[in-house]
Every structure is written in structure tokens, then in C-alpha cells.
Chain A
């Protein structure tokens, strides 16, 4: 019953229904509504196709393979995802050098490295060289340190 194709079909069906409902919120000007093709035409057609195909997949799954989620490092992956989110939140406030070095070192740690000097020797020079390459070589400037450091 809960084969991979059906689970995917149900998830995408929910997405397509959400898309269909959201497409009704697209605001058109009065003259646009009478046009043969307006900003809502394609989304509406796609929603119909998406719902139809999701239903087809749920009814006629291509394979009977079941989803097996055992044997994966879920905790490590979840922590890594949180680390990526944290990197996005700190890249501006902490500056490129601190946030990126921290991201890389914590990433190495999460994936099993325990020697701090090894993590620092790989992360810090790489981040500094990368920053120099971007700012001096490609003219892409990014704040290296927190603003209160550089002011």
C-alpha cells in the first residue's frame, strides 16, 4: 500500500492542490481577464496536469518498492542541516571569515573529526585564501569580520 511512488504521489498531490488554490489568488486587472492568455492561464493548466498526474501515480504506481529509512545517519544529517541554517543566519553578522571557519570546523566535527588543530589547519587557511581570491581576484567583496570589528 505505502510504496514509494504512492507516498511521492500523495506529497505532490498536496503540493499541486496548494498550488491550485494559490493560483486563484493571482490578481488580474479587469482587461486582462478577458485575454485568451493571462498570468493565471499557465498556472491553472499546470495545476490540473499536476493533480491528474499525481492521481495517476497514486492509482498506477510504476514500482512496488517500499520506502526503507533504516540504516541512515538521521541525527548527523539533521544537525548538519541546522548548521547550514545557522551559517545563513551568521554570515552577515559574524562576517565571512568567522562564520565560514566556524561552519567548516563544526561540519568536520559533526562528520567525525575530533582533532581541533587538524580542523583549524584545513578550514582557516582555505577560508582566508578563498576570501582573498574573491575580493582581490574576482572583485566580489564580502565583509570579512563583524562590522564592529572593521568600523
Chain B
């Protein structure tokens, strides 16, 4: 492990890669701070630039952007109660009330220290867990990978929230369908190309991500411009930051919260599909319960613990979500799905072999997480009053620029104007489905995993002489598939079981 850390340090500490960490953190913070634009859009916007770099630098840049965007999201949550990402919604519960009391600087400092601690503890846990899991997963067959991908897809749907499971599953299937467009590489057969040469290579992953996130979010902002009241709130927020210093008592109050939330966040992050949003809400809920009646009553009114818990957990979860990506090659979240797409674009297949074949990439990602967190704390925190000025750039200038960077990012990869037009079409469709409250992340995950899943299934059938028996004969495959079925059925059936039990209790109450 120590050797690995040195490899990672040697790769990540080159002046150019350090510059990538700094640039990524600052850019990510900048983009993440813009309401509506989250880590997915931030990473998507970076892919064209990352594609022109060597794999290590590119991945380091994207990982830094990821952290920066989460940090930036917290800033807009605290300052203007407009979380850029779902994972920082819980931060706004106490961050914004604290900012309203004139202590925005303190809230930002708590968020920054907690994010730093969560990220660093998460990276230590990743350091321990990833190589171990990578070694274990070396024994996995293509049948197990197929089952793991099914688990990844069902878990994302299962964790999508109450009443959204079917919608998320449907969007996953749509993503899988889109992945089948183009030439089937194994058999050389064209699928859904409708005679269009531009579709022979399939739908561009970057185009799809840009359209469904960056472009559709910009279009949503054009559709619903900010009111005068919102602008006034933003102006006030960046003018009255207050002191960023924390008292000894506040640090004492935060410390155990950070410890607990880091571990919880990391475990949630490792689970496919759960991710930073669930991690942050669970940590917030857990701390509220553990705080007791007095401290618990402060939650929602500007509690130190209420900011520290979700901020620590969302960063630890973000780190945890790299475990399945780096060791199994299976993304556990929409963001890591985008990163997987970028890695595949480099010709790198994440998975257990990555640890052995390209240790410099594996370790440099882990080390860059530490560096990223240090940069965020040392560089971003003092710069926050200046970076927060981004919130005052008028939308009439900002939105056309975001759209331009999205369109040109896609065009510069293919130099095909067809991609621009297809992107506009997908962007418009994505806006429509945003209005209908359909989640986009499962679709991206389905799109990314579609080809891999089909390849693994084909390979499994080839190894098993065209017999489907591996689905029920190989123990590990069966176990994973059963877990997948369980993750899917529990959230679907749980509400019905609860209603049934409640009715039964009511019936017994009336009877008794």
C-alpha cells in the first residue's frame, strides 16, 4: 500500500497535475456555486478539456472539479438557500438560517472544515478498502459482472425516493435503449441508425450528458428567470459574510459529528446507487436524534452540528462512490458514471485490473483527493468572498456562456454539427422530462452500463456454451442477482406492507 501511495504522490505531485488540482477545485467551486449546475454538469463541461490531457491529469482534473462542485454547492446553499446539488440540500437547513443571522462566514467555515475532514477520512477509508476489494474482485467472472451491473442499475432506481422507483427504472431502461443505437461491435450489425451515417458510432456519451445536464439546466434557468427578490437576496448574501473564525466550543461540538458522519457517509457512498444525497440526509437525521432534546431543537435554526453532519457525509460519500468505480468498474452514482465514460474514452477500463495494470492512475486519483481537499480548505476558503461574486454575475451573460461551453465542448470532440443539433434535441426533451419530475441520472447510468452489460452477458453465454444456466448455477452471480431483486422489491413493497400493518393495527385497536 505504501508503495502505491508513493506512486500516487509521484504522479499527482508533478507541477502540471498540481495545477490541475488547483484549477479543478476552483472551476468546480465556481460552477457548483451556480444554482442548478451541479457536479455532473461541472464534470461534463470538463470532459472536452480532460480529453486533451494524459489520463492521469484528466482524471485528477475531473476528481478535483467534483470536489470543488460539491463545495460550491454548499456555498450557494448557505448564502442564498439555493443548493446547486441535491447533496447540499441538507446543508441549507441550518446553513441558510445561520447566514440570515449574519454569520454566513462561520457557516461557510464549518462547511469547509467538515467537507475537508469528510473528504480526508473518506480518502483514508478508500485507501484501505479499494485495494482489498480490487484483489477480491479479481476472481469475478463476466457472469458476476453482469449481475453487478444489474445490481448497480436496480440500486439507483431503488434509492431514487418515495414514489419514484418506477420512473427511475423506466429512465434506466431508456438509457439502456439509447446505448443500443449504432453498430453492434460484436456482430457488425447496425441498430437504430435509420440510415444516418452520423449514428453509426452510436450516440456520443458526452453529448448526452451535456444535453441532459448542462444544457437542460441552462434552459430551465432561461424558462424561469430570477425575480427581483432573488437578486436582492443574492446581493445581500455576498455583502454580509461576517467572520469565518470558529470558537473552541464550536470545534468541540463538531469533532464527534465529523467522525460519525464520515464513516456513515463513506459506507453509504460505497453502496451502489445511494450516493451523497442519501448520505447527507441520513447523517443529518442521525445527528439530530443523537443531539438530544436541547441541541436537537437547534437543528433547522442554524445549528453547528446541522451543517457539519451533511457536509462531512456528502464528501465522505463522494469519496466512497469511487470504490465500486475503481475496483469493479461499476459506477455507483450518476457522477461516477460520467467519470467512467471519460475513463473509457481514454481507453482505460476501470476494474480490478486497473489496480494492477495502471497503478499510477488508481493511486493518483486517491492521492489527488487528499490534495483536492487541502486545496479546497487552504485556497478556496479564503477566496470564498471573491468566488461568491459569481452569484452576482447577471444570468443574461452567464447562461449564454454556459450554453456556448456545452455546445462547443461537444463540437470540439467530433467536429460534426449533427452532434450540436442532436444535443439541442436531447436538451429540449430533457427539459420536458424535468418538468415531469423524471430523474436523469438513472438514464445516464443505464447508457453507460448498457454496452458493458451486453458485452459481459455475451461473454458469459459464450463461456457457458450459449446456456443461460449461469444465472442460477454460479453461487456469486445468484447472490448478487438476489440482492438486486431485494433492493428493488423492498422499496416497492415496503409502503404497501406499512399500510397493511397500519390497517391491521387499527383493526386490532378497534377490536380491543
Residues of A within 8 A of B (CB): 4-5, 7-9, 11-12, 15-16, 19, 22-23, 26-29, 32, 35-39, 42-43, 46-47, 49-50, 53-54, 56-57, 60, 62-63, 65, 67, 69, 71-74, 76-77, 80-81, 84-85, 87-89, 91-92, 100, 103-104, 107-108, 110-113, 122, 126, 130, 134, 138-140, 142
Does the CB pair B170–A12 fall under 8 Å? yes
With A43-B177, A46-B180, A62-B163 in contact, is A54–B170 under 8 Å at CB? yes
Q: Which residue of B lies closest to A34 (CB)?
A: B466
Does the CB pair B222–A15 fall under 8 Å? no
The segment from B112-120, B243-251, B429-437 found at the interface with A is: B429-437
Q: Which residue of B lies closest to A93 (CB)?
A: B417
The list of the 9 closest CB pairs from A to B, nearest first, reads: A107-B400, A62-B163, A88-B420, A111-B396, A36-B466, A39-B189, A8-B436, A39-B184, A53-B170
In the complex, per-residue mask of B374-406: 1 if CB is within 8 Å of any chain A CB, else 0: 000000000000000000001111011101100
Q: Which residues of B contact A32 (CB under 8 A)?
A: 187, 189
With A67-B435, A72-B224, A88-B417 in contact, is A50–B403 under 8 Å at CB? no
Least Cβ–Cβ distance between B50 and chain A, in angstroms: 11
A/B interface sample: 21 pairs, CB < 8 A: A4-B436, A8-B437, A8-B438, A11-B432, A26-B189, A36-B468, A37-B466, A46-B176, A50-B174, A53-B166, A56-B166, A62-B163, A62-B166, A69-B435, A72-B223, A74-B223, A77-B223, A85-B424, A100-B404, A108-B400, A122-B397
| Contact among B164, B194, B396, B411 for A113, CB-based, below 8 A | B396
Q: Which residue of A lies closest to B164 (CB)?
A: A62
With A19-B177, A67-B435, A91-B411 in contact, is A81–B219 under 8 Å at CB? yes
| Contact among B52, B421, B437 for A138, CB-based, below 8 A | B52
| Contact among B223, B412, B428 for A140, CB-based, below 8 A | B412
Does the CB pair B223–A73 fall under 8 Å? yes
Question: What number of B residues sit within 8 Å (CB to CB) of A?
Answer: 61
Does the CB pair B191–A39 fall under 8 Å? yes
Number of A-B contacts (CB under 8 A): 169
Does the CB pair A87–B420 fall under 8 Å? yes
A5 and B175 CA atoms in complex are apart in Å by: 18
Q: Looking at B219, B401, B408, which has the most chain A CB atoms within 10 Å of its CB?
A: B408
Q: Which residues of B contact A138 (CB under 8 A)?
A: 49, 52
A84 and B214 CA atoms in complex are apart in Å by: 14
Does the CB pair B177–A89 fall under 8 Å? no
Does the CB pair B417–A91 fall under 8 Å? yes
Q: Which residue of A lies closest to B401 (CB)?
A: A104
Does the CB pair A84–B189 fall under 8 Å? no
Least Cβ–Cβ distance between B49 and chain A, in angstroms: 8
| Contact among B169, B420, B437, B454 for A4, CB-based, below 8 A | B437
Least Cβ–Cβ distance between A108 and chain B, in angstroms: 6
Main secondary structure of the interface of A (DSSP, over half): helix
Q: Which residues of B contact A67 (CB under 8 A)?
A: 435-436
| Contact among B163, B187, B411 for A63, CB-based, below 8 A | B163
Residues of B within 8 A of A (CB): 49, 52, 162-167, 169-170, 173-174, 176-177, 180, 184, 186-187, 189-192, 194, 219, 222-225, 394-397, 399-401, 403-404, 407-408, 411-412, 415, 417, 420-421, 424, 427-428, 432-433, 435-438, 454, 457-458, 461, 466-468
Does the CB pair B174–A5 fall under 8 Å? no
Does the CB pair A62–B399 fall under 8 Å? no
Q: In the complex, given contacts A29-B187, A54-B170, A113-B394, what are 9 additional A-B residue pairs having Cβ atoms less than 8 angstroms apart?
A: A15-B174, A39-B191, A77-B219, A84-B420, A108-B400, A110-B400, A113-B397, A126-B401, A138-B49
Does the CB pair A92–B437 fall under 8 Å? no
Does the CB pair B428–A12 fall under 8 Å? no
Least Cβ–Cβ distance between A8 and chain B, in angstroms: 4
Does the CB pair B174–A84 fall under 8 Å? no
| Contact among B189, B224, B399, B436 for A111, CB-based, below 8 A | B399
Q: Which residues of B contact A113 (CB under 8 A)?
A: 394, 396-397
Q: Which residue of B lies closest to A3 (CB)?
A: B436
With A49-B173, A113-B396 in contact, is A39–B187 under 8 Å at CB? yes
Q: Which residues of A contact B436 (CB under 8 A)?
A: 4-5, 7-8, 11, 67
With A8-B433, A100-B408 in contact, is A26–B167 under 8 Å at CB? no
With A42-B454, A43-B191, A73-B224 in contact, is A103–B404 under 8 Å at CB? yes
